[in-house]
Structure 1
Amino acid sequence: MTRPRSIYLVDYSCYRPPSHLQVRYKKFMEHSRLTGDFDESSLEFQRKILERSGLGEETYLPEAMHDIPPRPSMAAAREEAEQVMFGALDNLFANTNVKPKDIGILVVNCSLFNPTPSLSAMIVNKYKLRGNIRSFNLGGMGCSAGVIAIDLAKDMLQVHRNTYAVVVSTENITQNWYFGNKKSMLIPNCLFRVGGAAVLLSNKAKDRRCAKYKLVHVVRTHKGADDNAFKCVYQEQDDIGKTGVSLSKDLMAIAGLALKTNITTLGPLVLPINAGGRAVIDELEKNLQLLPVHVEASRMTLHRFGNTSSSSIWYELAYTEAKGRMRKGHRVWQIAFGSGFKCNSAVWQALRNVKPSPNSPWEDCIHRYPVELVL
């Protein structure tokens, strides 16, 4: 009765936006210029960041940001959220044959867009989930909130027997684009792109036979008691009242301290997977003495999809599966960094030789990867 229940990852799905939402460097710079919000210095700064970012020419921005002028409205933000969340969930339900009414727990995380009714309520309404569902909506928790959501779902699955949990991890760009000229607040415009993932977890013993992974560990590290760490990723207004997210120059050092604490707790069990940005990947590769193949999934995900915030770790896992590298017994360590400042880890063990699920985000392009990057 008191023994912890095993938690199985039955399947997951990453949203792949339609091709017309792709944004090439040239289009990005043209639109930035046409908005009239950025001075020449800011435009040149964005161009340099793009060139060094590790992002390719096929990442996605939401519909509203392709318009001139952009439409950062509440309605457009809801449209982006619905397209991403429902797109991932439709594919997840189709691939698993699990009925929405079978879901007992729902956890949604999105840091910057928190409407009323909540994103979790939007999912309940769309799929007509049952009235006694345990529903949670996590906001303001940054890029590492996907692991936090997994941890919360895990705890709920220890309490509620014989049920499924769905975790939806996403971020919303439409209302969080920065239209000012403060350099530290322009960086997110150049890194963050549209994406999201839906994950199906189970505590049913019978699901071990069909599940991809078993959850082994979750370790969460929070450095928010330190003022510098607390403010290194900070949503604020600039001097003329433009809202955006500021990234501190101390970010890499703070991330390193959080990572050190997290690894000390977890131990060097498996290889890291993280796509926060090229600088983060470079530092992990150097300081953990990794080979290029060990960070390939991170670099290629950043190149193909950009930084999709909390869902990045799932695009990376999907890359590893698409390459046929996930074998039975392998352990995978997902590391995510986020505002606060937090470093969170999840460790999974493959229950079989894992193949990519239908409609994987890499399905039509994995043959082109890895690509050569100019570093």
Structure 2
Amino acid sequence: MSRDFLPSVNLKYVKLGYHYLITPLFTLCLIPLMAFIIVQASTLSLDDVHRLWLHLEQKPVTVTVFFALIVVGSTIYIMSRTRSVYLVDYSCYLPPPHLKVEHHRFMEHCKLMGAFDGSSLEFLGKILERSGLGEETCAPEAMHCLPPRPTTAAARQEAEQVIFGALDTLFANTNVKPRDVGILVVNCSLFNPTPSLSAMIINKYKMRSNVKSFNLGGMGCSAGVIAIDLAKDMLQVLRNSYAIVVSTENITQNWYFGNKKSMLIPNCLFRVGGAAILLSNKSADQSRSKYKLVHAVRTHIGADDKAFNCVRQEQDDDGKTGVSLSKELMSIAGHALKTNITTLGPLVLPISEQLLFFVTLVAKRLFNAKIKPYIPDFKLAFDHFCIHAGGRAVIDELEKNLQLLPIHVEASRMTLHRFGNTSSSSIWYELAYTEAKGRMRKGDRLWQIAFGSGFKCNSAVWLALKNVKPSAGNPWEGCIHRYPVKLTL
């Protein structure tokens, strides 16, 4: 991903962003019309009102049709309008201390496994050293054993510990009963047992029989935003409902025990983690909610074969399963990001930035002008950035290409350092970091952006409804005073 990732922006994505922007225009135009009618009505005298009433009495059919149209129109508007979606609260799983894997223990464990040759061990050491991970990231119980126990039972145990741990905290903090939840969305890319993880949650918390449950698998690290978007759509259908989103990944059965370099990298990056999020469309919940969902923009470039295959679960020549990462991953991520922000830009950027970006884009497309591409200043649209902590290179490239300041990527770097790559839940650990630092103020805008296999780039934009304080059980409790830490290059 290089700084010139914007020049080849396709105009259709700009058009899509402007379509989203103009969609509520009709509603906005009604506001001045209604104001004009009210002002005119306020100037009428009692005699004028009396004469108008006598005139209407002579045309009962017209009056009836008029009021019927008002009632029907109002009903259609009320039924079809977009309902606000509020983030009441969320929680992130904090693994127990005995699951920590310091770097030297990680390397010693890899040697004792006997699965890796000398070249692979050297490669693992170099990747770990440059990864940006600290000494407190955690691996599941099964991976601490010698030999490791990558069984289905152990994988279920990891899922239960992470998911139930996050949900128990969420229910305790919000005082919402599991039977009050009408929508449940769970995303876990690589572990999809039968019964499903969503069924596991329903069984554990004895949820009601008509809960709308969804289990998303194989969608990668950006599936957390997909799950939020799905829950948002469901909340447009079901009135006065709560939705819970659970985002996690499972490590137990997804360690790679071979020697193919492109499949060894995930061993160094992925760690235990998960988050549970409570959403509501109840107007009564606005006062106690932390955020309001403003936009969710999803981009999928899987029609391109290189993008489709750049992150792929497969078997090596020895039949050992792992996730392979293509050398073209960063350039493909740049293309997906370009597409996503081109759609998102018209929704969030001030008009001055939109005009500069659009004029430059049109000039290059129409006149083939040798004009340096204009990179919109997203710092004018957002106060906080939660960039998926997929790896040090991902954060570095987005910091450079979006011209962000170190403080804007601090939450992402510190999350990678403290918790590692927790896949789809990393953006919630980052938000928890921002809250623990006391930086989230009322009216602030937050951009969550994540990448995932397929290949996808997805964004969620949130508005802070108050000065947000960290909730009980914040994963940074007890250690936030030590951050940010200085990272070695």
Coarse TM-score class (shorter-chain normalised): over 0.9
Q: C-alpha deviations, 1:296-316, integer Å up to 9, x for none?
A: 000000000000000000000
Alignment match of 2:301 (pick from 223, 229, 237): 223
Cα distance, 1:272 vs structure 2: 3.3
Cα distance, 1:364 vs structure 2: 1.1
Find the counterpart in structure 1 of residue 153 from structure 2. 75
Q: C-alpha deviations, 1:97-130, integer Å up to 9, x for none?
A: 0000100000000000000000000000000000
The answer as to 2:333 corresponding to 1:333 is no
Counterpart-to-counterpart distance in 1, 2:269 and 2:154: 20
The answer as to 2:177 corresponding to 1:104 is no
Q: Secondary structure at the match of 1:317?
A: helix
Counterpart-to-counterpart distance in 1, 2:466 and 2:138: 33
Find the counterpart in structure 2 of residue 287 from structure 1. 401
Matches within 5 A, 1:116-135: 116-135=194-213
Counterpart-to-counterpart distance in 2, 1:253 and 1:325: 33
Counterpart-to-counterpart distance in 2, 1:292 and 1:107: 34
Q: C-alpha deviations, 1:186-230, integer Å up to 9, x for none?
A: 000000000000000000000000000000000000010000000
Counterpart-to-counterpart distance in 1, 2:174 and 2:478: 21
Q: Secondary structure at the match of 2:293?
A: strand
Q: Secondary structure at the match of 1:136?
A: strand
Find the counterpart in structure 2 of residue 66 from structure 1. 144
Q: C-alpha deviations, 1:51-110, integer Å up to 9, x for none?
A: 000000000000000000000000000000000000000000000000001000000000
Counterpart-to-counterpart distance in 1, 2:263 and 2:114: 17
Counterpart-to-counterpart distance in 2, 1:106 and 1:364: 31
Find the counterpart in structure 1 of residue 105 from structure 2. 27
Counterpart-to-counterpart distance in 1, 2:437 and 2:329: 32
TM-score, normalised to structure 1, is 0.99
Q: C-alpha deviations, 1:224-277, integer Å up to 9, x for none?
A: 000000010000000000000001110000000100110010014325322111
Matches within 5 A, 1:194-213: 194-213=272-291
Alignment match of 1:256 (pick from 318, 334, 339): 334
Alignment match of 1:38 (pick from 116, 135, 144): 116
Q: Secondary structure at the match of 2:284?
A: helix
Matches within 5 A, 1:229-268: 229-267=307-345, 268=378
Matches within 5 A, 1:100-179: 100-179=178-257
One-letter amino acid of the counterpart of residue 7, structure 1: V
Higher helix share: 2
Q: Secondary structure at the match of 1:143?
A: helix
Find the counterpart in structure 2 of residue 321 from structure 1. 435
Find the counterpart in structure 2 of residue 192 from structure 1. 270
Counterpart-to-counterpart distance in 2, 1:356 and 1:128: 28
Counterpart-to-counterpart distance in 1, 2:216 and 2:193: 12
One-letter amino acid of the counterpart of residue 347, structure 1: V
Q: Secondary structure at the match of 2:220?
A: coil
Counterpart-to-counterpart distance in 2, 1:282 and 1:145: 22
One-letter amino acid of the counterpart of residue 122, structure 1: M
Aligned-residue CA RMSD (Å): 0.5
Which structure 1 residue ranges, 4+ long, deviate > 3 Å from structure 2? Answer: none
One-letter amino acid of the counterpart of residue 258, structure 2: G
One-letter amino acid of the counterpart of residue 128, structure 1: K
Work out the number of aligned pairs and report it. Answer: 375
- The structure that has the greater radius of gyration is 2
Counterpart-to-counterpart distance in 2, 1:21 and 1:281: 26
One-letter amino acid of the counterpart of residue 135, structure 1: S
Counterpart-to-counterpart distance in 1, 2:183 and 2:97: 33
Find the counterpart in structure 1 of residue 38 from structure 2. none
Q: Secondary structure at the match of 2:278?
A: strand
Cα distance, 1:360 vs structure 2: 0.3
Counterpart-to-counterpart distance in 1, 2:236 and 2:281: 8
Q: Secondary structure at the match of 2:221?
A: coil
The answer as to 2:387 corresponding to 1:309 is no
One-letter amino acid of the counterpart of residue 316, structure 1: E
The answer as to 2:351 corresponding to 1:273 is no
The answer as to 2:372 corresponding to 1:372 is no
Cα distance, 1:350 vs structure 2: 0.1
The answer as to 2:206 corresponding to 1:93 is no
Stretches of structure 2 that go unaligned for 5 or more consecutive residues are 1-78, 346-377
Stretches of structure 1 that go unaligned for 5 or more consecutive residues are none
Find the counterpart in structure 1 of residue 366 from structure 2. none
Counterpart-to-counterpart distance in 2, 1:329 and 1:336: 23
Q: C-alpha deviations, 1:129-163, integer Å up to 9, x for none?
A: 00000000000000000000000000000000001
Q: Secondary structure at the match of 2:302?
A: coil
Q: Which moved more, 1:259-268 or 1:81-90?
A: 259-268
Q: Secondary structure at the match of 2:121?
A: helix
Q: Secondary structure at the match of 1:116?
A: coil
Counterpart-to-counterpart distance in 2, 1:276 and 1:307: 5
TM-score, normalised to structure 2, is 0.76
One-letter amino acid of the counterpart of residue 146, structure 1: G
One-letter amino acid of the counterpart of residue 459, structure 2: S
Counterpart-to-counterpart distance in 2, 1:364 and 1:141: 33
Aligned-residue identity in percent: 81
Q: Which moved more, 1:79-88 or 1:282-291?
A: 282-291
Q: C-alpha deviations, 1:163-188, integer Å up to 9, x for none?
A: 10000000000000000000000000
